[in-house]
C-alpha cells in the first residue's frame, strides 16, 4: 500500500504500536509485507520462520501504525524456541493494540488457546484477524467467528486474506479506531528500524528455509561477516556465514559440487538486489557450531 498524505495536527491524529501475534505460520509476516507494500519480514511455508521482532511503519492520512511482527507463539521447550516465544510475548507489553492472527484454513488450536490464555488480563485492546479466508467455506468461517468471540473479548473480528489483500482496509480501520491520540512516532515515509545488513541476513536465512528440508532450516543461523558498498554505491559486497549444528547438515547445505549453496546464494542475491537497488556480490560460507541452538552464549552472539 502506498503511503498516503498525512495531517499531523495532534488534535486530529492517532499513532501507536500494534503487536502482531499468533501461532506459527498464521501469516503474520505476509500481512506485514502486504500492508507496507515492501518485503521486510521473511516468509516461508514452514512454521517458525520469524525469530526476531520486526518493526514496520504504515502511514495513513490521520494515523501512523507501527507494527511489531513477532515469532509464532507456542508452548516451547528448546532453548532457542523459548527465547523466540519470549520475544513475542515481551512485545505485548509495548503495544497499544494487539492484533491476533489465526489461520482460518488450518487452525492451530493448541497454540491459539495458549495465546488466548496469555491475553487474559492484558490491559490493551485486541483485534482478531482470521486469515486465509479465501481457502475456506463461509459456514466454517462463521463457526470460527462464533468460537473466538466467546473465547475472548476482542474489539473486532475481521476475516481477511493477507496474501490476496482481502479486507485489509477494514482491518486497518479497526486498528486505527483503537489507537491513542498522538503525533507520528516516526518521520512520515519511514518503513522500518532495521538495517539493510540485518534484512540481508534474514533473506539468506529465508532461502535456507525455502530450499532445504525439514531439519536444516531450524538448525541454521546466519551472520553477516562483512557488508560494504563499492563502486560509488553501485555494488554491495556481502560476506555471510550460515551456521549449522552438525556435519551432515553442512553437507546438505553445500550439496553435491556446491550446487545447493549456489542455489541459495543466487536466490538470496536477487532478493537483496531488489531491496538495495544495486548490484550485489554475495559470498556464503557454511560453518558447524555444534548444538548452537542450546548454547546461551551462541544464541546471544547470533542475536537471539
In this structure, what CATH number is given to the domain that contains residue 43? 3.40.50.300
Identify whether residues 21 and 155 lie together within a single domain. yes
**Burial of 123: CB neighbours in 10 Å, binned 0-12, 13-18, 19+:** exposed
Q: How many domains does the chain have?
A: 2
The per-residue pLDDT for range 99-155, each reduced to its tens digit, is 999 999 998 888 898 888 888 878 899 999 999 999 999 999 999 999 999 999 999
Q: Is residue 186 part of a domain?
A: no
Least confident range of 83-87, 113-117, 202-206, 287-291: 83-87
The range of the structural domain enclosing residue 48 comes to: 10-176
Same domain, 62 and 206: no
Q: Does residue 189 sit within a domain?
A: no
Residues 42 and 117 in one domain: yes
Question: What nine digits make up the cell of 94?
Answer: 509495548
Cα 231 from Cα 118, distance rounded (Å) = 51
Q: How many CB atoms lie within 10 A of CB 259?
A: 10
pLDDT tens-digit readout, 10-55? 678 999 999 999 888 899 999 999 999 989 888 877 777 776 778 9
pLDDT tens for each residue of 193-252: 889 999 999 999 999 999 998 789 989 999 999 999 988 889 999 999 999 999 999 999
The per-residue pLDDT for 1 is 47
Same domain, 224 and 295: yes
Cα–Cα distances (Å) from 27 to 21, 31, 46, 239, 303, in that order, read 10, 6, 11, 30, 23
Any idea what the CATH number is for the domain that residue 268 is in? 3.30.300.20
Q: Distances from the Cα of 270 to the Cαs of 92, 265, 278, in angstroms?
A: 35, 9, 10
Amino acid at each position: 500500500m502506498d503511503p498516503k498524505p498525512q495531517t499531523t495536527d495532534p488534535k486530529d491524529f492517532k499513532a501507536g504500536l500494534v503487536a502482531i501475534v499468533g501461532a506459527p505460520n498464521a501469516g503474520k509476516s505476509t500481512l506485514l509485507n502486504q500492508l507496507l507494500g515492501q518485503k521486510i519480514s521473511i516468509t516461508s511455508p514452514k512454521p517458525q520462520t520469524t525469530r526476531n521482532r520486526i518493526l514496520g511503519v504504515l502511514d495513513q492520512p490521520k494515523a501512523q501504525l507501527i507494527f511489531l511482527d513477532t515469532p509464532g507463539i507456542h508452548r516451547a521447550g528448546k532453548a532457542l524456541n523459548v527465547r523466540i516465544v519470549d520475544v513475542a510475548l515481551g512485545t505485548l507489553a509495548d503495544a497499544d493494540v494487539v492484533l491476533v492472527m489465526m489461520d482460518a484454513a488450518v487452525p492451530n488450536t493448541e497454540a491459539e488457546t495458549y495465546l488466548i490464555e496469555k491475553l487474559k488480563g492484558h490491559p490493551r485492546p485486541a483485534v482478531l484477524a482470521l486469515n486465509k479466508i479465501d481457502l475456506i467455506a463461509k459456514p466454517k468461517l462463521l463457526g470460527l467467528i462464533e468460537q473466538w468471540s466467546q473465547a475472548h473479548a476482542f474489539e473486532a473480528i475481521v476475516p481477511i486474506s493477507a496474501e490476496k489483500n482481502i479486507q485489509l482496509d477494514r482491518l486497518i480501520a479497526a486498528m486505527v479506531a483503537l489507537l491513542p491520540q498522538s503525533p507520528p512516532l516516526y518521520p512520515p515515509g519511514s518503513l522500518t528500524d532495521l538495517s539493510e545488513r540485518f534484512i540481508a541476513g534474514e533473506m539468506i536465512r529465508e532461502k535456507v528455509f525455502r530450499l532445504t528440508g525439514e531439519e536444516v532450516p531450524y538448525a541454521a543461523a546466519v551472520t553477516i561477516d562483512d557488508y560494504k558498498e563499492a563502486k560509488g554505491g553501485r555494488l554491495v559486497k556481502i560476506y555471510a556465514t550460515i551456521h549449522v549444528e552438525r556435519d551432515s547438515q553442512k553437507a546438505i547445505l553445500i550439496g553435491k559440487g556446491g550446487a545447493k549453496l549456489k542455489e541459495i546464494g543466487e536466490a538470496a542475491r536477487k532478493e537483496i538486489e531488489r531491496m538495495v537497488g544495486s548490484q550485489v556480490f554475495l559470498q556464503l560460507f557454511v560453518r558447524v557450531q555444534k548444538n548452537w541452538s542450546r548454547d546461551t552464549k551462541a544464541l546471544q552472539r547470533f542475536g537471539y
